[in-house]
Chains A and B, each alone.
Chain A
Amino acid sequence: MEQEGKKRIWSEYQKEIADDHYFYVRSCIRQTFFPGSETTFLKILRDDLSRDVFEDARHTTCTGIGYHTDIVPFETIMTIAARHFALMTEAGYVNFVPSCVTSFGIYTEILDTWKHFPEMEAKARDYLWTATRREFKIPDNLSHTSDIIYRFRNELAELSGHRLVNKNDGKPLKVVEHIGCHYAKMFPKCGVGGAEFPAVLSGMVEAWGGEVIDYPERRHCCGFGFRQYLIKANRGYSLSNSKKKFESMQPYQPDFIVANCPGCAMFLDRWQYTIAEMEGITYDKSGKGIPVLTYEELAGLIMGYDPWVMGMQMHQISVEPLLDKIGIVYNKKDKYLGSKGQYIGVPQPPHFLLQ
């Protein structure tokens, strides 16, 4: 692999990422899948990096899942996006930061449509005004939350107490980075590093001391794909895509996977359980599976945040082996305690995946 060639590509896909004053919009599914990730992002930005991040409780789902399953028409989703831009405008912000890759893809698609078809923008403005009497400005900057963490990766490396290095042998941890399809595959110019060799997560991993694995099915979809998963009869298709990826990455023995899309992180984590239950297969040597992290969790870990406060007990694949490799001290007893110290219950152990 020639790094120079990759750098040439990256140099052509350097997007502008705002430095401060973010209008942050949450994902509708991430808080259930990876409940601490969004809070971790806010803490890092506000407390560690002293950045201004604004949230508006009136923000709703972008309806992206409905749109991609052909339930929500384009006119509707475009008006909802317009409403979110209006909330941003009313709050006096210009930098729009969605936490979900699906939403990010929706916003890039809508902004691009408006650029090429101004009559569609006029339509959206008209619908929004009729329905809510609201107006909006187009954001100056649209960045995904992973872009923001990427932007501050070196600052975080300096502030952090941990490196992505195996404390037992001093070697960099081997990391699979998985980029959500809707991050840059539709609009390569909108993603750091483009669509074929994205740098957004690999840039973080390398800045924090890890080694990125370039395995053959790196670019392949995790399999979520909305329709594949949401229509029950298609779920085998979803699963087989993830399986293809696991089989392809297995020979490289990754220490963990990091993803920037809610669906990807969820499915790469949960499908390992499903495959283990169905076929008795795990993709790591120890039989415990390959831990799957969100990039906020990863950033939080190197910054010394408590994994249980970040909600990492909600993962299907236990993260403890990874925490041990990095040398993160955690309290085993606290794993199943809620935010107020209450016992939240231990899940039933799976049949094959070791805990």
Chain B
Amino acid sequence: MNKTIVIVGGGPAGLEAAAALGSSPHHVLILEKEHNTGGKLKNWHHLFPNFADASEILKSLEKSLPLNNSEIKYDCDVFKMEQMDGNLLVSLKSGEKIKADAVLLATGFDLFDAYKKEEYGHGIYKNVITSSELEGMFVNNSFPDQLKDGLPKKIAMVHCVGSRDKKAGNMHCSKLCCITGVKQAIELRKYLSKSSVYNFYMDLRMYGQHFEELYQEAQEDYGVNFIRGRVSEIAEISDGKLQVKAEDTLSGRPMKMIFDLVVLLIGMTPATSAASIAQSLALPKSGSGFLAPVHQHISANETCIPGLFLAGTCREPLSLQESITDARAAALKIIEWLKLKDNH
């Protein structure tokens, strides 16, 4: 018997899960709260570690959606769920309710609101931007005029903004901002050839394939400077330039430098759009607030609620490749579970 699988979130994880479920006989319904699919991926320009064009990747994810059994509904903000006779009842903000045999939460992550790090002045100093805003500038070629006047520019990249930071309420490492910082430093050096770029980091977490190589390349081929030290504060000086204070922990000296642009490498935080869903089902969360699977090692996609599964960054910070692999694993678990359900 054909069943209904609801996927909440049409980001990379949701799209890939739907594609993987294409071979199943079930009806797959993606509920996406925005007007279009793609999640954060649609905001990125070129991806680490190989500078692949993000829009091409998104196109291929969208193309692999099976036409026979899947459907996408846009502007559908899921806010609540309840268990009902072995099924899940999915409630949308519009008031509509949908009965599902299985639900995959692929609600993704939120970007850390940089404004919370008040000492960095995001939203107050116009030349303090976030890594996400920098991606937007690359996508739309919308760099501020003062950066394009052909004169040498000094740019700072600040790592761990809103991650590994008790005061900001986030103890976890966002895992991807180090490599994003390296990638964006190279891109800035390419785009503004006379620029010099300084990355301020605590330690560099180059965990993935080709990440370490990219870090080497950034130093050797693009002359990116890496300073081990956390930035303590940023202040604007008269001409809109920015004074950055940090401690160089390798030389053991406090330092003060002037920059034209500061890019804050903001972390990944649990999606607020999943909070009410989790609450309605009393779904446990991990220490950092992401949705917790039933078992970290052996059941990373399953939850304590029968028929409810997790995929992608709703459960922890993941790269695109990891989110996609994770979504496939979740799809497999869903198919297995529906089979079991049929046999009962």
Contact = CB atoms under 8 A, between A and B. Distances in A.
B236 interface: yes
A1 B238 contact: no
A27 to B, nearest CB: 29
A1 B125 contact: yes
Contact of B235 (A5, A6, A194, A217): A217
Contacts of B233: 196, 219
A170 interface: no
B126 A2 contact: yes
Interface in A278-299: none
Contacts of B243: 216
Interface stretch (B3-11, B115-123, B272-280): B115-123
Interface in B223-245: 233, 235-238, 243
A187 interface: no
B171 interface: no
Chief secondary structure at chain A's binding surface: loop
Given A8-B115, A9-B118, A2 B124 contact: yes
Nearest to B256: A216
A2 B123 contact: yes
Q: Which of the listed residues A194, A196, A216, A251 has the most CB atoms from chain B within 10 Å of its own CB?
A: A216
Contacts of B124: 1-2, 5-6, 9, 197
Contacts of A100: none
Nearest to B126: A2
A197 B235 CA distance: 11
Contacts, number: 43
Nearest to A213: B238
A72 B119 CA distance: 32
Nearest to A251: B238
A252 interface: yes
Contacts of B115: 5, 8-9
A214 interface: yes
A248 to B, nearest CB: 8
A44 B322 CA distance: 65
A111 B324 CA distance: 51
Contacts of A325: none
Given A196-B119, A197-B118, A252 B235 contact: no
Interface in A88-114: none
B247 to A, nearest CB: 15
A216 B118 contact: no
Q: How many interface residues does chain A have, given as a range?
A: 10 to 19
A173 interface: no
A280 to B, nearest CB: 25
Given A5-B115, A196-B118, A216 B237 contact: yes
A257 interface: no
A218 interface: yes
Contacts of A6: 124
Contact of B118 (A2, A195, A218): A195
B123 A219 contact: no
A214 B233 CA distance: 14
A341 to B, nearest CB: 47
A212 to B, nearest CB: 13
A4 B123 CA distance: 8
A214 B238 CA distance: 9
B257 to A, nearest CB: 12
B123 A5 contact: yes
Contact of A194 (B118, B122, B123): B118
Contact of A218 (B125, B235, B238): B235
A6 B115 CA distance: 10
A314 B44 CA distance: 61
A79 B237 CA distance: 45
13 contacts: A1-B236, A2-B125, A2-B126, A5-B115, A5-B121, A6-B124, A9-B115, A195-B118, A215-B235, A216-B237, A217-B235, A251-B238, A252-B238
Interface of B: 115, 118-119, 121-126, 233, 235-238, 243
Given A2-B124, A214-B235, A219-B235, 13 more contacts: A2-B125, A2-B126, A5-B122, A5-B123, A6-B124, A195-B118, A196-B233, A197-B124, A215-B235, A216-B237, A217-B235, A218-B235, A252-B238
